[in-house]
């Protein structure tokens, strides 16, 4: 069997609120609680299992989405008044990036309620 990522733990202060935040942006649902985790399962079966933790360092999570899903998620970000950025240093406020090595790739970054850096990006077409 090939190795696959099954789940990852996302440390947060309020698992329900943080899971709902991401699920709403991505157009997903929050799964029923498993033990003390609040999971959000992605299309490839990988789940982000939100766990209540008092102290943690923010992480980066990137989500590959179709062009249509990108447009819908970006609209939800903008409609929600969520600041988004065209760079991971969060300097290019209100922008999206367009990747030079991957033709047609678009992406943007935003912070979740706990400061994790979330990224949505489209696949584009790799230049040969």
Closest CA to 110 of 76, 85, 127: 85
Residue 97 domain-assigned (yes or no): yes
pLDDT of residue 100: 78
Residue 2 domain-assigned (yes or no): no
pLDDT of residue 41: 97
pLDDT of residue 108: 98
Classified as helix, coil or strand, 120 is: strand
Closest CA to 120 of 43, 65, 67: 65
Cα–Cα distance measured from residue 28 to residue 13, given in angstroms and rounded to the nearest whole number: 21
Please state, rounded to an integer, the average pLDDT across all residues of the chain.
95
Q: 17 with 113: CB under 8 angstroms?
A: yes
Q: 35 with 92: CB under 8 angstroms?
A: no
Residue 36 domain-assigned (yes or no): yes
Residue 122 domain-assigned (yes or no): yes
Q: What is the pLDDT of residues 82-101, one digit of tens each?
A: 999 999 999 999 999 998 77
Q: How is residue 87 written in tokens?
A: 């760079």
Residue 1 domain-assigned (yes or no): no
Q: What is the pLDDT of residues 10-34, one digit of tens each?
A: 999 999 999 999 999 999 999 999 9
pLDDT of residue 128: 62
> Tell me, what CATH number does 42's domain have?
3.10.180.10
CB atoms closer than 10 angstroms to residue 26: 19
Contacts of 58 (CB under 8 A, 6+ apart): 111, 114, 115, 116, 117
Q: How many residues does the chain have?
A: 128
Q: What range does the domain containing 69 cover?
A: 7-50+59-126
Residue 70 domain-assigned (yes or no): yes
Q: What is the band of 127 on the pLDDT scale with cuts at 50, 70, 90?
A: low
């Amino acid at each position: 069997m090939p190795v696959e990522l099954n789940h990852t733990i996302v440390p947060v202060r309020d698992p329900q609120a943080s899971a709902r935040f991401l699920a709403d942006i991505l157009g997903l649902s929050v799964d029923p609680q498993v033990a003390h985790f609040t999971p959000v399962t992605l299309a490839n079966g990988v789940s982000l299992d939100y766990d209540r933790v008092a102290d943690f360092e923010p992480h980066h999570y990137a989500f590959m989405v179709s062009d249509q899903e990108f447009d819908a998620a970006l609209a939800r970000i903008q409609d929600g008044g969520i600041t988004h950025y065209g760079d991971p240093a969060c300097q290019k406020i209100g922008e999206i990036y367009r990747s030079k090595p991957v033709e047609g790739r678009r992406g943007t970054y935003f912070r979740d309620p706990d400061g994790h850096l979330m990224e949505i990006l489209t696949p584009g077409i790799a230049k040969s």
